[in-house]
Amino acid sequence: MAEILASAGQEAKFKSGSLVEGTVTAVDGSDVFVDIGYKSVGTVGIEEFGGAEVKVGDKVAVMLVQLENDKTGTVEISKRRADEKIRWEKIQARYTEGSVVTGTVKSAVRGGLLVQVDDVEAFLPGSQIEVTPVKELEPYVGQTFEFKVLKISNERRNLIVSRRELIEGTMAEKRAELLATLQKGEIRKGRVKNITEFGAFVDLDGLDGLLHITDMSWGRLKHPGELLKIGQEIDVMVLDIDRERERVSLGLKQTQPNPWDAIQEQFPVGARVKGKVVNLAAYGAFVEIAPGIEGLVHISEFSWTKRVARASDMLSVGDEVQVVVLSIDMENQKIALGIRQTQDNPWDTVQERYPVGSRIKGKVRNFTAYGAFVELEEGIDGMIHISDMSWTRKVNHPLEVLQKGQEVEAVVLDVNAKEQRISLGLKQAQTDPWAEIAAKYQVGSVVKGKVSKVASFGAFVELEDGVDGLVHISQISDQRVDKVKDALDVGQEVEARVMKVDRAERRIGLSIRAMSMTEDEVKAMVEGPSEETVKADEPSSSTFGGLGAAFDNAFANVEWQPGN
């Protein structure tokens, strides 16, 4: 029974995957025969001994792969597998997840690096090499580092390690130490780590701080890359510290003197300086007159005479210009500059060039509802008001008399250099025809003309010399006329008698109705009835006696301008 039990215990030891100790019984070429105390002797290839000398009687540890090979009927064993298992069990006993090991990078493989840790290979994923992504792996081959064991893989019998976690741990310690010692206002050395549109991140030896673009320079910056480069070492000032959120705000310009502190002494109001256009807006140009000092030239300060719609019409970024300091706002750090102040103001001498009463020639440049602008020289215009366009007619719009681009001769009526205004007269450059008109159009004479305008109280008839006469509604026909437009049309040719000439008021009254009257009747209408006639014939007298008043009332309804 004892023999049976011993045999059963021996059988339990011999199972696949178990380690057993055996004795070398023979070496035949490339085969080494090992007796493990089983029914048959196992065979191991001599290459599994790694070139070591093998002698009969040597004790070796092997792994039992298979008790009986299906083809040979012999036990199948492996020294190589046994060595691997023994080595792995030693590693498991030596290392634990989270422990720190030292290893040397053997080679670069897909996805990372192979690291030799003692007598086992470990895998270092690419994401675990540095804190920031690594593009080139070859430079790490051959270097020795410390690593943190992330995982022990029994299936693959290898270690997965990380260098990044150790670095981050070290950085966290440095970060905590820096946060504890940093003070607002102190200046620290740092290295530009990253650049963005809004600023740059600066490494303060373990702690990253944000340097905003507005705190980089006293001057204008469109992009941080204009001033900084990645890897550049700079001195920065600590502006703010948020220890709870581990955030630090930095300033670069604060390490340099503020040029605005001495601005009033350096650029007093009235000073003429040279500058460079650094930016353009629709309303003006920003000109840098010193590093970090910019002023605005508003479009109204570009020229004494030119009408500037946009700054880009006159200047381009990069242009060098002469400017004059107009005002300084220290509180808001703003400077108003002027370009036109560097030149003589032509309006200062305009009265000398265009004295009142002088005759000028110019081209009609533009119209308004009340007049026309005539260009006297570049940037200097004079205005002809509609009341100064004609001696003989009422002008409602300048287009009735003038055309754009037309060259005209006019007289200077008034010059206001302060308001930059020149008043011109078109009719004043011509002879007043009313001296002859009064003699030409005698009361009672017959005239011909065209209806130029129809109103509720009568119609205007254009005669020779551009003179308009008024036919009152009561003087259109012998028959009652309720609406002038029912009896007369604009452009219609008519004959009428002159009934009234007022030279002082420059007015002529006409009558179409009087064309069918005798000379005596016309004379009676003009002179008005006697007292006896009025008493004898009240209706008739009202007709004739009221003619002068009718014309006066009609003319009063017209928006007559002086001289018309």
Concatenating the DSSP letter of every residue in 533-544 gives: HHHH-HHHHHHH
Torsion over CA: 269, 275, 277, 279 (sign): negative
* 307 and 333 co-located in one domain: yes
* 142 and 75 co-located in one domain: no
Residue type, 412: V
CA dihedral 74, 79, 82, 86 (to 10 degrees): 160
What pLDDT sits at residue 529? 54
Which residue range(s) make up the domain with 123? 95-167
What pLDDT sits at residue 490? 92
Q: Record the pTM.
A: 0.43
Contacts of 132 (CB under 8 A, 6+ apart): none
* 468 and 552 co-located in one domain: yes
Q: Which of 95-99, 327-331, 395-399, 442-446 has the lowest mean pLDDT?
A: 95-99
Residue with tokens 């020289």: 377
Q: Burial, 469: exposed, middle or buried (Cβ in 10 Å; 0-12, 13-18, 19+)?
A: buried
Average pLDDT (309-317) is: 89
CA distances from 393 to 63, 451, 467, 562 (A): 129, 13, 6, 11
Is 300 among the domain residues?
yes
What are the structure tokens assigned to 240, written together? Answer: 């703010």
* 440 and 523 co-located in one domain: yes
* 309 and 199 co-located in one domain: no
Specify the higher pLDDT residue, 66 or 365.
365
Concatenating the DSSP letter of every residue in 416-444 gives: ETTTTEEEEESGGGS--THHHHHHHS-TT
From 255, 289, 309, the end of a domain falls on: 255
Is 173 among the domain residues?
no
* 438 and 544 co-located in one domain: yes
From 337, 362, 386, the end of a domain falls on: 337
In the predicted model, is pLDDT for residue 223 greater than 60?
A: yes
pLDDT band for position 9 (cuts 50, 70, 90): very low
What are the structure tokens assigned to 403, written together? Answer: 């055309």
In the predicted model, is pLDDT for residue 303 greater than 50?
A: yes
* 152 and 195 co-located in one domain: no
What are the structure tokens assigned to 385, written together? Answer: 């008001």
Is 561 among the domain residues?
no
What pLDDT sits at residue 67? 76
Please check whether residue 510 is in contact with residue 522, taking contact to mean a CB–CB distance below 8 angstroms.
no
What are the structure tokens assigned to 315, written together? Answer: 């200047």
Contacts of 101 (CB under 8 A, 6+ apart): 95, 117, 118, 122, 146, 147, 148, 149, 159, 161
* 400 and 452 co-located in one domain: no
* 474 and 545 co-located in one domain: yes
Q: Select, from the ranges 11-15, 70-74, 389-393, the one with the highest average predicted confidence (pLDDT).
A: 389-393
Distance in angstroms (rounded) separating the CA atoms of residues 194 and 190: 12
Is 476 among the domain residues?
yes
Is 12 among the domain residues?
yes
Contacts of 400 (CB under 8 A, 6+ apart): none
Torsion over CA: 59, 63, 67, 71 (sign): negative
Strand pairing category for 380-385 and 421-425? parallel
From 40, 69, 86, the end of a domain falls on: 86
What pLDDT sits at residue 557? 58
Is 174 among the domain residues?
no
What are the structure tokens assigned to 62, written together? Answer: 């092997």
What pLDDT sits at residue 535? 42
Distance in angstroms (rounded) separating the CA atoms of residues 18 and 10: 13
Distance in angstroms (rounded) separating the CA atoms of residues 106 and 139: 11
Distance in angstroms (rounded) separating the CA atoms of residues 277 and 75: 93
Distance in angstroms (rounded) separating the CA atoms of residues 541 and 538: 5
Distance in angstroms (rounded) separating the CA atoms of residues 441 and 444: 8
What pLDDT sits at residue 561? 38
Q: Burial, 513: exposed, middle or buried (Cβ in 10 Å; 0-12, 13-18, 19+)?
A: buried
Please check whether residue 201 is in contact with residue 208, taking contact to mean a CB–CB distance below 8 angstroms.
yes
Specify the higher pLDDT residue, 154 or 360.
360
Torsion over CA: 47, 50, 51, 53 (sign): negative
Strand (E) or helix (H) holding 551:
helix 547-556
Distance in angstroms (rounded) separating the CA atoms of residues 382 and 359: 12
Q: Provide the domain count of the chain.
A: 6
Distance in angstroms (rounded) separating the CA atoms of residues 383 and 421: 8
Question: Whole-number mean pLDDT of the chain?
Answer: 84
* 278 and 245 co-located in one domain: no
In this structure, which long-range contacts are made by residues 397-404, counting pairs with CB atoms below 8 Å and at least 24 apart in sequence? 397/367, 397/369, 398/367, 398/368, 398/371, 398/372, 399/367, 401/426, 402/364, 402/367, 402/372, 402/426, 403/364, 404/364, 404/365, 404/366, 404/367
In the predicted model, is pLDDT for residue 165 greater than 70?
A: yes
pLDDT > 90: percent of the chain = 33
Residue 520, domain CATH: 2.40.50.140
Concatenating the DSSP letter of every residue in 44-65 gives: EEGGGGTT----TT-EEEEEEE
Is 329 among the domain residues?
yes
Whole-angstrom Cα Rg for the chain: 56
Distance in angstroms (rounded) separating the CA atoms of residues 167 and 31: 50
* 250 and 272 co-located in one domain: no
Concatenating the DSSP letter of every residue in 193-259 gives: EEE-SSEEEEE-SS-EEEEEGGGT-SS--S-GGGT--TT-EEEEEEEEEETTTTEEEEESGGGS--G
Q: Which of 116-120, 340-344, 378-382 has the lowest mean pLDDT?
A: 116-120
* 448 and 497 co-located in one domain: yes
What pLDDT sits at residue 106? 94
CA dihedral 298, 301, 303, 306 (to 10 degrees): 60
pLDDT digits 0-9 by tens, 477-507: 988 999 999 999 999 999 999 988 887 777 8
